[in-house]
């Protein structure tokens, strides 16, 4: 029990800290603003933030979601991403307490970054997807389940499956149906989960997308065939629970 509590606390704290960085990256990177250089500033008025303004989750809650200097509303992406990053760390520590939990949490935090960028910008940066893929290979080399052969097959199969679907749709309809980053993302996910989990990831992603459409329809939003959807985000949302199941089941 003490080991579980240690990993829960460590990965939970690391999650909210990294969540703050991920939120800043998601908001600033697409706009060409630096994330790593300079002092943190309010996105609205540019005032330099102090330590009391930078405590993840707590600072925004105490300030009632507004900048103390100008009163502008703090982008809710900050607390949403920080809270999700906390959940990712806690779930990894709970399901597989130990060094493997850290690897799984990194998997979840990278997926969170990609999902947030896809939702807000319809963008899956190749640098992040490549980092996810390389991290999957590294964990395989360290002996984490699944085995390296399963991972390599998963990487190739994940990319090839979505690439073929996208190419087939474009040949049939004469327009792009999948973004170019989606096959790369599923390939990177395959390098983490292996080939056997990919059908479950695709099914869960599709069901999640369908549920979101149904919720939108219940709220009065009409669904159209040419609506643009962040499929990469749906893949990311499906992949982390699949990893938790895979590692929890293999223990």
pLDDT tens per residue across span 207-224: 998 888 787 777 777 656
Give Cα separations from 124 to 1, 69, 120, 183, 234 (angstroms): 39, 34, 11, 11, 12
One domain, residues 75 and 23: yes
d(CA 78, CA 160): 35
One domain, residues 138 and 36: no
Q: What is the pLDDT, as a whole number, of residue 23? A: 94
User: What is the CB-side half-sphere exposure of residue 47 using CA atoms within 13 A?
Assistant: 14
Q: What is the pLDDT, as a whole number, of residue 250? A: 60
Q: Locate tokens 């390389």: which residue?
A: 134
One domain, residues 89 and 153: no
Instruction: Give yes or no for a contact between 118 and 129, defined as CB atoms under 8 angstroms apart.
Output: no
Mean pLDDT over the full length of the chain: 87
d(CA 110, CA 85): 10
Residue 107, domain member (yes or no): no
* Average confidence (pLDDT) over 9-37: 89
d(CA 176, CA 155): 23
Give, as one character, the DSSP assignment of residue 223: P
One domain, residues 79 and 33: yes
Give Cα separations from 242 to 10, 78, 90, 102, 192 (angstroms): 22, 25, 16, 16, 10
Three-state DSSP state, 66: strand
Per-residue pLDDT at 249 exceeds 80: no
* Average confidence (pLDDT) over 184-188: 98
Q: Over the stretch 149-173, which tens digit does the pLDDT of each residue have?
A: 999 999 999 999 999 988 887 888 7
Per-residue pLDDT at 46 exceeds 70: no
Residue 161, domain member (yes or no): yes
Q: What is the pLDDT, as a whole number, of residue 102? A: 95
Range of the domain at 88: 1-97
Residue 227, domain member (yes or no): yes
Instruction: Give yes or no for a contact between 15 and 87, defined as CB atoms under 8 angstroms apart.
Output: yes
Higher pLDDT, 113 or 24: 113
What is the value of pTM for the model shown? 0.91
Q: Nearest-CA neighbor of 56 among 28, 37, 80?
A: 80
One domain, residues 75 and 166: no
Higher pLDDT, 227 or 23: 23
One domain, residues 43 and 129: no
In this structure, the dihedral spanned by the alpha carbons of residues 176, 240, 106 and 191, taken in order and rounded to 10 degrees, is -60
One domain, residues 1 and 73: yes
One domain, residues 153 and 208: yes
Q: Over the stretch 71-95, which tens digit does the pLDDT of each residue have?
A: 778 888 999 999 999 999 999 999 9
d(CA 38, CA 25): 13
């Amino acid at each position: 029990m003490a080991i579980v509590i240690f990993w829960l606390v460590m990965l939970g704290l690391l999650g909210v800290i990294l969540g703050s960085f991920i939120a800043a990256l998601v908001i600033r990177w697409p706009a060409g603003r630096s994330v790593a250089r300079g002092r943190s500033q309010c996105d609205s008025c540019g005032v330099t933030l102090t330590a009391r303004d930078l405590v993840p989750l707590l600072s925004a809650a105490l300030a009632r979601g507004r900048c103390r200097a100008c009163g502008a509303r703090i982008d809710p992406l900050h607390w949403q991403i920080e809270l999700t990053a906390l959940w990712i760390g806690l779930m990894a520590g709970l399901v597989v307490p130990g060094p493997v939990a850290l690897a799984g949490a990194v998997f979840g935090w990278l997926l969170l970054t990609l999902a947030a960028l896809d939702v807000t910008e319809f963008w899956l940066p190749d640098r992040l997807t490549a980092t996810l893929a390389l991290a999957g290979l590294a964990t395989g080399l360290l002996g984490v389940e699944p085995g390296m052969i399963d991972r390599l097959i998963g990487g190739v199969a994940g990319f090839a499956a979505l690439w073929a679907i996208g190419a087939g749709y474009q040949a049939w309809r004469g327009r792009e149906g999948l973004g170019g980053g989606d096959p790369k993302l599923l390939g990177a996910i395959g390098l983490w989960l292996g080939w056997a989990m990919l059908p479950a990831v695709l099914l869960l992603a599709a069901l999640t997308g369908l549920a979101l459409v149904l919720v939108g329809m219940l709220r009065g939003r009409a669904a159209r065939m040419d609506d643009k959807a962040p499929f990469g985000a749906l893949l990311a949302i499906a992949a982390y629970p699949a990893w938790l199941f895979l590692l929890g089941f293999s223990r």
